[in-house]
Amino acid sequence: MRLTAVIMAGGVGERFWPKSRQNCPKQFLSLTSDGETMIQKTVRRLAPLVSQEDIYIITNAHYLPLIQEQLPALPPENVIAEPCPRNTAPAIGLAASLIARKYKDAVMFFLPSDHLIHHEKNYIETLRKAAQAALEDKTLITLGITPTYPETGYGYIRYQSGNGRDGVYPVECFVEKPDLDTAESYLKSGNYLWNSGMFIWKASSILHSIKKYMPELYQGLQPIAQAYGTEEFDSVLNEKFPGLPSESIDFGVMEKANHIFTIPGDFGWDDVGSWLALERINPTDENHNMFDGNVLSIDSHNCTVAGNGRMIAMLGVEDLVIVDTADALLICKKDQTQEIKKILAELKAEQKSDLL
């Protein structure tokens, strides 16, 4: 069983400003106290299953130096720089084409680069089980996450929980982000999983489905895939890729195809969606504060601090997110972290591009 992985690392993640910047988004940041960046974690935790030469990164040209710096052992030709973002379907199609040319019947894990997994052993076992299932004819598998609370910020997968075989279940449908009442009913029913954006399939299976449901994309991919490994690859990629249809694999394939399966994952997954996630993924003190850095706190409660070496002295404050960097400081009420985009809009309007 030949296992490969394709990691999507092109996101610009504005929600971690001011640590994340256009030239260094979330996947290249360390948000845990161990100093490892999100993408380093993503690659490292695959080690028991996938060798480095079979790990591909889809990113954009700006981030090539960061990837080289953070993942020096990765073969340079495995890092594909999209000339422009075209959503997941073209990225997956291109990666699957390259893998299918290299190996007959290789399984491909398609994974985000900026999520966190607490129980890595469970995770690896789940991926291994998914890979076994994916080897069956044209099976497409999406990894679901067993929900632990009624989250309204995720899409859900409705699945036939009574109709599984070896822990693999048929997907009924994908549903959009629910309101709180709906999310609570999903949680109670036991028939819903969080949609994690992680997929497992044979490269040939997903190519087959792309050919069937997105023929235009399939055709557009051919000249690019054929140029891979030649001197013309970069110029062909830059010429042809922008013309591919911009579409998600969810909408383009998964919601249309039959015989989609899911495996309920239970391995402490966290998408680390905003600064608020830091208090989930890091230890907190007796006053519910999460401090990363040189913090002196007196009478302060329920604060999250991401420091930068400098002393941060807090006196009598609560419910704040404080993020310190060399050139910008964020002080944000916890219930306002979704509004960080307003700051970025303001910085854009003021043309302070060095801070974006």
**Among 30, 322, 348, 353, which residue interacts with its own copies (rule: CB under 8 A)?**
322
**Among 189, 296, 348, 353, which residue interacts with its own copies (rule: CB under 8 A)?**
296
> Token pair of 89, please?
């379907």
Kindly indicate which of the ranges 74-82, 91-99, 169-177, 295-303 contains the residues binding its own copies, using the contact rule CB under 8 A: 295-303
Write down the least CB distance from residue 90 to its own copies, Å.
35
Nearer to its own copies, 285 or 339 (CB): 339
**Residue 61: Cβ within 10 Å count:** 13
Nearer to its own copies, 114 or 324 (CB): 324
| Residue 340 interacting with its own copies (CB under 8 A) | yes
**Among 222, 311, 348, 353, which residue interacts with its own copies (rule: CB under 8 A)?**
311
Reduced to 3 states (helix: H, G, I; strand: E, B; else coil), residue 30 is: coil
**Among 347, 351, 353, 356, which residue interacts with its own copies (rule: CB under 8 A)?**
347
Number of residues that bind its own copies (CB under 8 A): 34
DSSP label at residue 353: G
Write down the least CB distance from residue 288 to its own copies, Å.
17
Nearer to its own copies, 76 or 309 (CB): 309
CA distance linking residue 40 with residue 74, whole number of Å: 11
Nearest CA-CA partner of 101 in 221, 231, 257, 275? 221
| Residue 216 interacting with its own copies (CB under 8 A) | no
**Among 223, 230, 335, 348, which residue interacts with its own copies (rule: CB under 8 A)?**
335
Q: Tell the residue number behind the tokens 């979330």, with chain if given.
A: 26
CA dist list (Å): 273 to 13, 17, 101, 230, 337: 9, 12, 35, 39, 10
Dump strand ranges (E) for 165-308: 169-175, 192-202, 260-265, 269-270, 290-292, 295-298, 304-306
- Which residues lie across from 193 on neighbouring strands? 157
Kindly indicate which of the ranges 49-57, 84-92, 99-107, 341-349 contains the residues binding its own copies, using the contact rule CB under 8 A: 341-349
Kindly indicate which of the ranges 110-118, 127-135, 258-266, 294-302 contains the residues binding its own copies, using the contact rule CB under 8 A: 294-302
**Among 64, 236, 328, 356, which residue interacts with its own copies (rule: CB under 8 A)?**
328
CA distance linking residue 132 with residue 263, whole number of Å: 12
Residues 10-49 that bind its own copies (CB under 8 A): 18
**Among 187, 236, 343, 356, which residue interacts with its own copies (rule: CB under 8 A)?**
343
Q: Tell the residue number behind the tokens 């390259």, with chain if given.
A: 98
Per-residue binding letters, 246-285, with its own copies (x by CB under 8 A): ----------------------------------------
Kindly indicate which of the ranges 4-12, 188-196, 218-226, 314-322 contains the residues binding its own copies, using the contact rule CB under 8 A: 314-322
| Amino acid identity for residue 132 in this structure | Q
CA distance linking residue 39 with residue 68, whole number of Å: 12
| Residue 82 interacting with its own copies (CB under 8 A) | no
| Residue 342 interacting with its own copies (CB under 8 A) | yes
Under 8 Å between Cβ of 111 and 8 = yes
Kindly indicate which of the ranges 62-70, 142-150, 238-246, 344-352 contains the residues binding its own copies, using the contact rule CB under 8 A: 344-352
**Residue 168: Cβ within 10 Å count:** 19
Nearest CA-CA partner of 196 in 282, 278, 252, 127? 127
Q: Is 126 exposed, middle or buried (CB count within 10 Å of its CB: 0-12, 13-18, 19+)?
A: buried
> Token pair of 298, please?
């007196």
* Interacting residues with its own copies (CB under 8 A): 18, 296, 298-299, 310-317, 320, 322, 324, 326-333, 335-337, 339-340, 342-343, 346-347, 352, 355
